[in-house]
Amino acid sequence: MTELVVRRLLIDMQAPISRHWCGGDAFRTALFNALSMSFPVGEQFFIDSVRNGFKALPEDKQESLRAEIEGFIGQEATHRRLHALYNGHLEKLGLVNEWAPRALRQQKLLEGIDPRHAVGITAANEHFTAILANWLLHNPDLLGTEDPRLATLWLWHSCEESEHKSTAFDLYQALGGNHEWRIVWFRRITKIFLVDTLRQTVNNLRRDGTLWKWSTWKSAASYLFGKRGLIRLTYEPWRDYLRPDFHPSQQDASISRRWLAEHRKQYSIVGAPA
Ligand SMILES: [Fe+2]
Ligand SMILES: [Fe+2]
């Protein structure tokens, strides 16, 4: 069991966000902004799935998971609140979130079915966020120096994703979820996640007026497929999920523990004595 605490990030989300806050790079900015646009709706879905899954557990199995589930919900609720403020600034920049309404329509299709499906979907998404988080924590300079507040937000969020990466997976197992469905959902979520990320990134670039600039495509090629490219470096950890004996805890999380220890002044712990 992982002990999860809820942290309050000490950053000012009222100050506006600049157009190319991420190292002055239009592509990277559009990509991170696209991911942020998916979080409030996505993370609310994870919270609801885990909450419903927990309720479906027999009482004798609930106790051992209760604290971790509460921590998970607290962490995701904090993420979605800060990303909603972040997304408010993006709206003012003229960007339009088309991912969130599409995700809400997809979520409606799951209403009334076995809660293990939603937990399996959440576990698949959580694997995605955990490997993205690990990539980002190993390459923090990609966030640039223009907006240290947003760099902190992304790295803190990454640490907590890494920290709670086993929660939905363990709940899925406790509910008797099987390997076949775990893989079915993982493959589906992979397609949905990649297509939605791409669509929203392109949409952001189009509205930003930078979609057809050579520098945008050069940056996309480098940061997706280059030496430190997102797709190149996350393929192996992505594939691990397919193994029948996979467990999220097998993936190293030491870098997130280190970041949290080294940046203790940038957050307070909710419920800790002042
Ligand atoms: Fe999150
Ligand atoms: Fe998460």
Over residues 137-168, the pLDDT tens digits come to 999 999 999 999 999 999 999 999 999 999 99
Residue type, 269: I
Contacts 24+ apart (CB under 8 A), 268-271: 268/7, 268/8, 268/10, 269/5, 269/6, 269/7, 269/8, 270/5, 270/6, 270/7, 270/8, 270/74, 271/5, 271/6
| pLDDT higher at 231 or 18 | 18
pLDDT the model gives residue 3: 83
- Ligand 2 center to residue 211 CA distance, Å? 30
Report the mean per-residue pLDDT for the chain: 95
- 272 pLDDT exceeds 90? no
Task: In whole angstroms, give the CA distance from residue 265 to residue 270.
Answer: 14
Beta bridge partners of 9: 267
Contact call for residues 179 and 244 (beta carbons, < 8 A): yes
pLDDT the model gives residue 46: 98
- Ligand 2 center to residue 214 CA distance, Å? 34
- Ligand 2 center to residue 215 CA distance, Å? 32
Question: What's the N-to-C CA distance of the chain in angstroms?
Answer: 27
- Ligand 2 center to residue 129 CA distance, Å? 7
- Ligand 1 center to residue 134 CA distance, Å? 13
With bands split at pLDDT 50, 70 and 90, how would you rate the model's confidence at 274? low
Q: What is the DSSP letter of 141?
A: G
- Unique residue bearing structure tokens 């909603």: 84
- Ligand 1 center to residue 133 CA distance, Å? 10
pLDDT the model gives residue 84: 98
- Ligand 1 center to residue 154 CA distance, Å? 10
- Ligand 2 center to residue 74 CA distance, Å? 10
Task: In whole angstroms, give the CA distance from residue 95 to residue 187.
Answer: 29
Q: What distances in angstroms separate CA 248 from CA 90, 98, 167, one per listed residue? A: 33, 31, 9
- Ligand 2 center to residue 231 CA distance, Å? 20
Question: Does the global pTM surpass 0.85?
Answer: yes
pLDDT the model gives residue 231: 85
Contacts of 125 (CB under 8 A, 6+ apart): 42, 46, 189, 193
Any idea which ligand is nearest the CA of 167? 2
- 36 pLDDT exceeds 70? yes
Q: What is the DSSP letter of 113?
A: S
pLDDT the model gives residue 232: 85
Question: pLDDT of 22-33, one tens digit each?
Answer: 999 999 999 999
Any idea which ligand is nearest the CA of 163? 2
For helices 148-163 and 254-262, angle between their N-to-C axes, nearest 10 degrees? 130
Closest CA to 261 of 156, 167, 161, 176: 156
- Ligand 2 center to residue 194 CA distance, Å? 17
Mean pLDDT along residues 79-108: 97
Beta bridge partners of 268: 8
Any idea which ligand is nearest the CA of 122? 2
- Ligand 2 center to residue 213 CA distance, Å? 34
Mean pLDDT along residues 60-87: 96
- Ligand 2 center to residue 82 CA distance, Å? 14
Share of the chain above pLDDT 90, in %: 90
Closest CA to 165 of 102, 108, 247: 247
Any idea which ligand is nearest the CA of 157? 1
Any idea which ligand is nearest the CA of 129? 2
Contact call for residues 75 and 160 (beta carbons, < 8 A): yes
- Ligand 2 center to residue 157 CA distance, Å? 9
Any idea which ligand is nearest the CA of 4? 2
pLDDT the model gives residue 1: 64
- Ligand 2 center to residue 121 CA distance, Å? 12
